[in-house]
Amino acid sequence: MNVSRILRGASSTALLFLAACGGESSFDIELVTRDCQETIEHLAARQGTMTVVVSGDGMSDIKREGVNFSDGALDLPEVPVGSNRVVTVSVFEGKNLSARGRSEPFEVTSSGAPSVRVQLFRANAFTTWGEWENDTTCKPVRLAGPRAGHTATRLKDGRVLIAGGFSSLDKAGTGAGYLSTAEIFDPVTGAISSAGTVVPHAFAQSVLLRDGRVLIVGGTEMKDQVEEVTDTASIFDPATGAWSQVKLQNARKGHTVTLVAENGPLLVVGGVGADGKVVETIEVFDAKANTFSPVKGAAKLARAYHVAANVGLNNAAVEIAGGIDDSGVPETRSQFIVWNRDVDTITVSNQTVALPTGTVRSGVALFDLGNAGRRLGVIGGAKTWTPEAGKPGVGKPSGASNEAQWIGTDPSQNKSGTLGLKAGARVNPCVVGLDAKRALVLGGFSETQAFVPGAEVLAWQDPPKGSNAEPTFGSDKTEKLRDDGRGYTSCTDLGDGRVLVVGGIGKGGAAVSTAEIYLAQPPPASEQPAQ
């Protein structure tokens, strides 16, 4: 197979022609940008090189490196006949990845294959997903309407369910225009389709259940023009497109929802109840019966606006960190909720790990450092919480933190530390893991309730080989978000090195309807072109 000279196309496209060596099968690869602010020729980096990989079921990867944008022919082995073939094109400037894209799966027959489209995204930067109508006109792809305070959950097939939220914030900071709509975003094609109607709730917590359904738990709802804490949980079944509702034992907002271990229970922990007090009960969701029930025994933990992660301890514990206690005081202790799989019991451990500073409404990331253990990152948040009289769970956050704190997940070691955030202090940041040792931080609000347009990548670095030193924690800024308004936004790992950022509060308190894609630079010493 050979790749002929790339043909100059429209500003959004360029063309590669592949023809099989010694055979008659052939197909075109069309390079496409969905970025309205960047041409394909710029993305393909005329001064850089491309790596083209063809992969699929029942075949070894076919890979060619060092392809120049202005090259003539390039020989490749013939692509075997078969289905689920995928073309990946990576563009490098020196050793650094500058852009990457993958095609949809396609079939190769003895007579060839259809034209294959590869959408390129710039690395270490945000791309506003758009659609080129012609050589000069590009329109951003938008949700059905503005949305913030929603949930976004990646389904098993890679699509993303976006549900609920509201369309604006009023002067008191309360959500207005609650939304009963849900949508599905296809990260391959960029298509957005309706996912039906859901009970309107915002500031909920969502999780992908092991059977492929999505559970959206608690949050707030609007009743008679008053925002109230809700006890409703909604279930979406992507196999049927149907929604159903069940009731929690307690209404909650500012809670967490976490699956424990590979086959452990789903725990709903803490939050603020309808009475404004911090909820201490822990609930378990039964996915077969579709019911919530309180944990048996004396397991209780009063915490709200905290973070949580399944951290291990034989892979059967949830670590709870930060937030406020039942008096409305920011909590420095992290605590462990332990599931004993042998007897199927849940207890709250007396062992704790101390955060350097108690914070409220932080972001969270779990890092796996191999032999050095795991670290729970508690990122940003507010250092102060001023509660209303008699309602410790209702109050105002202040003192935005410009630190990424970390604590160990082994209470016997009690490790902790801090790292200054380079892109600014923020409350309610959106944080998403990029891989075992890196996380992306974006969005949120500053001390003055202004938006934080900057983003950064937090990363752990291994010590030199043979050294007994601990891994080090650092941060690098990325290019800022294309749309400055991303308060109460969502950021979702797409499972392929990309992150989907959808909606959020923009200027003037109104939500935005645009979507952005962030493509992570690969970790050092990986995915580098041959020299």
pLDDT computed for residue 528 by the predictor: 42
Locate the DSSP E strands across 323-362: 333-340, 345-354
Locate the DSSP E strands across 389-429: 391-400, 403-408, 416-420
Residue type, 451: F
Whole-angstrom CA distances from 338 to 247, 271, 347, 352 are: 25, 19, 5, 12
Rg (alpha carbons) of the chain, rounded to whole number: 24
pLDDT computed for residue 20 by the predictor: 38
Contact 320, 258 (CB under 8 A): no
Both structure tokens of 429: 């940041």
Cβ neighbours, 10 Å, residue 354: 14
Residue pLDDT, tens place only, 375-386: 999 999 999 999
Both structure tokens of 217: 């738990």
Residue pLDDT, tens place only, 375-424: 999 999 999 999 999 999 999 999 999 999 999 998 888 899 999 999 98
pLDDT computed for residue 294 by the predictor: 94
pLDDT computed for residue 524 by the predictor: 64
* Domain boundaries of the chain, sorted by first residue: 13-138, 421-530
pLDDT computed for residue 305 by the predictor: 98
Looking at 3.30.43, 1.10.10, 2.30.30, 2.60.40, the CATH number of the domain 13-138 comes to 2.60.40
pLDDT computed for residue 141 by the predictor: 85
Cα–Cα distance between 230 and 147 in angstroms, integer?
Answer: 19
pLDDT computed for residue 413 by the predictor: 83
Backbone angles phi, psi at 458, to 5 degrees: -90, 135
pLDDT computed for residue 494 by the predictor: 96
Contact 141, 131 (CB under 8 A): yes
Locate the DSSP E strands across 312-454: 317-321, 333-340, 345-354, 363-368, 374-379, 382-388, 391-400, 403-408, 416-420, 430-435, 438-442
Q: Please report where in the chains the tokens 């590669």 appear, as a residue.
A: 16
Cα–Cα distance between 81 and 94 in angstroms, integer?
Answer: 34
b/e per residue 307-340 (b: at least 16 CB within 10 A): bbbbbbbeebbbbbbbbbbbebebbbebbbbbbe
Contact 277, 250 (CB under 8 A): no
Q: Please report where in the chains the tokens 């390039």 appear, as a residue.
A: 74
DSSP 78-116: PPPSEEEEEEEEEEEETTEEEEEEEBPPEEEBTTB---E
Contact 160, 497 (CB under 8 A): no
Cα–Cα distance between 168 and 514 in angstroms, integer?
Answer: 15
b/e per residue 376-392 (b: at least 16 CB within 10 A): bbbbbbbbbbebeeeeb
pLDDT computed for residue 70 by the predictor: 66
- The candidate with the shortest Cα–Cα distance to 170, out of 509, 511, 513, is 509
Identify the segments of the chain with pLDDT beneath 50.
1-15, 17-24, 72, 526-531
- The candidate with the shortest Cα–Cα distance to 377, out of 426, 324, 317, 441, is 441
Both structure tokens of 516: 């952005």
